[in-house]
């Protein structure tokens, strides 16, 4: 019989996220029923009622992290965050274009 995974096992499997640079983002679906899943808790990030509308996105792995899991694991993973600065994602992108700063 296989051994049940512990929290330590799960975190070890996510080692690629250690010191990752995360982008705080509003989730913008491509079509109405599309959603992203939090890589830790599998919570829906979609913007629909009773679901997260924004989260933290790792551009390299394309993983999303919900706000609750971000708070829970931020110290362990030592993430670097590029914040939206209290703006919607569209406003954030417009500001970055004005400054001519490349979006990574």
DSSP 8-state symbol, 16: G
For the stretch 65-81, pLDDT in tens is 999 999 999 988 999 99
* CA dist., res. 85 & res. 94, Å (int): 13
Distances in Å between the Cα of 17 and the Cα atoms of 6, 23, 35, 53 are 18, 13, 21, 22
Residue with tokens 């390299």: 60
Confidence of residue 92 (pLDDT cuts 50, 70, 90): low
* pTM metric for this prediction: 0.71
* CA dist., res. 24 & res. 65, Å (int): 9
* CA dist., res. 51 & res. 44, Å (int): 6
């Amino acid at each position: 019989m296989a051994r049940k995974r512990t929290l330590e096992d799960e975190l070890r499997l996510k080692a690629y996220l250690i010191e990752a640079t995360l982008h705080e983002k509003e989730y913008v679906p491509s079509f109405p029923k599309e959603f992203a899943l939090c890589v830790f808790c599998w919570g829906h990030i979609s913007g629909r009622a009773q679901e997260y509308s924004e989260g933290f996105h790792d551009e390299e792995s394309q993983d999303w992290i919900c706000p609750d899991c971000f708070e829970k694991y931020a110290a362990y993973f030592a993430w670097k965050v590029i914040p939206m600065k209290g703006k919607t994602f569209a406003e954030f992108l417009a500001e970055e274009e004005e400054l001519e700063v490349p979006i990574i």
